[in-house]
Structure 1
Amino acid sequence: MLLETPRLILRPWQMTDLEDLYTLAKNPHVGPRAGWRPHQSREESRLILSRMITAPDVFAIVLRQNDKVIGMISAGVDSSRRNLAAKSIGCALNEDYWNHGYMSEAVNRMIQYLFADPGTELIAMDHFTDNPGSRRVIEKNGFQYEGTMRQKFRLFNGEVKDCLCYSLTRAEFEAQTVSKDKD
């Protein structure tokens, strides 16, 4: 399955993506913002990559211009809700590519993909309180702030983080799509 945007391709992971994944995942500014420990070795990245290759709806974010993997995006059932029709998006981006609109573009395409399934009623995203970049991506894609879930996540180092929670309903997505079509 390939999901395409003007600048990006979202595609399944491949073992040949190991170096790009390791470069992304070893950065101490990336993993902790997404809730995971920076990778300590290529072997750690290799083990995680082998799991991502077989996982459903886990995509590498690839720059069209040079076929370089610059991030990751995934979707699954929103474990914070008792509603199997609610999905959740998670993502991370190589720090060298922050503030260029790539993640907003990838999230927008993932939203379209998830709502193409008539069984999806709602999509959720959240971010730690100290991650304003993720907040901008989420809000730019039309998600509505629901509230702050205190002490939602315990990091690899024991630190407990609050999360700001957002959602986008199918009706909100459809209204945005109609509004964009009129422009």
Structure 2
Amino acid sequence: MRDVRTIETERLALRGLRMSDAPRVAELCGDPGVARMILRAPLPYLPVAAEGWIMTLAARKPLAEEFVFAVERGGEMIGCIGAHKSGEAFEVGYWFGRAYWGRGFASETLAGFMAGARSLGRLEAGHFVDNPASGRVLEKAGFVYTGEVKPMFSMARGESAMCKRMTYAAEARAAAA
């Protein structure tokens, strides 16, 4: 994962974020339905906020704490996926514009991403209770529920929402052994 520049799947290409992606990030995440499923997405999501996020990612790359990819279909950015250092583990997360929901893009992207992400070590993820579709995507990729459900603050919601926590199954099996 540390040296991966692009990832190709059957229908999609994953590549590093560029500053020129900021308007598209703001457009897709500016949809309240999308933003409310992301922990750190503000509403409104202005292009300057997207620029700041992309600059922050670029600054952290040397620290090996952020691995974030734009997801493209036919040359158009449709979402993002990444793994962010969180304590001793990496938190896997993704989002897609609403027009791309329910078409298998999240599952395809996560499957392609996980081939490299497993090399990062322990992987965790979570989804808001009111987003069970995300849980199904994570389960297909090999994540299992930990049994922990905790409130997590959502910027777009302006309040905490209950989040179901998951871990990558390989790590869960190792911990049980």
Task: Give the TM-score range, shorter chain.
Answer: 0.7 to 0.9
Equivalent residue runs for 1:39-118 within 5 Å: 39-56=44-61, 57-63=67-73, 66-79=74-87, 84=88, 86-115=89-118, 117=119
Question: Which residue in the other structure is 2:131 paired with?
Answer: 131
> Could you say if the C-alpha distance between residues 24 and 158 of structure 1 is closer, same or farther in structure 2, counting changes exceeding 3 Å?
closer
Aligned residue pairs: how many? 162
> Could you say if the C-alpha distance between residues 45 and 29 of structure 1 is closer, same or farther in structure 2, counting changes exceeding 3 Å?
same
- For residue 54 of structure 1, report the CA deviation from its aligned partner: 4.2
> Could you say if the C-alpha distance between residues 171 and 58 of structure 1 is closer, same or farther in structure 2, counting changes exceeding 3 Å?
closer
> Could you say if the C-alpha distance between residues 13 and 39 of structure 1 is closer, same or farther in structure 2, counting changes exceeding 3 Å?
farther
SS in 1 for 2:37: helix
1:88-126 CA-partner distances (Å, limit 9, x unpaired):
2011111100001111111112211112x2x62x32110
Percent of pairs with identical residues: 26
Question: Which residue in the other structure is 1:21 paired with?
Answer: 25
> Could you say if the C-alpha distance between residues 109 and 163 of structure 1 is closer, same or farther in structure 2, counting changes exceeding 3 Å?
same
Higher relative contact order (CA 8 A, sep 6+): 2
Residue 168 (structure 1) aligned with residue 168 (structure 2): yes
Deviates more, 1:124-133 or 1:34-43: 34-43
- Please list every run of at least 4 consecutive aligned residues from structure 1 whose deviation after the TM superposition is greater than 4 angstroms: none
Q: Provide the TM-score with structure 2 as the length reference.
A: 0.81
| Unmatched tracts of structure 1, length 5 or more | 174-183
Partners of 2:45 and 2:85 lie apart in 1 by: 29
- Structure number with bigger Rg: 1
Query: Is 1:147–1:164's contact at 8 Å kept on the other side of the alignment?
Result: yes
Query: Alignment partner for residue 35 of structure 2, among 31, 39, 57?
Result: 31
Partners of 1:68 and 1:55 lie apart in 2 by: 25
Partners of 1:67 and 1:55 lie apart in 2 by: 26
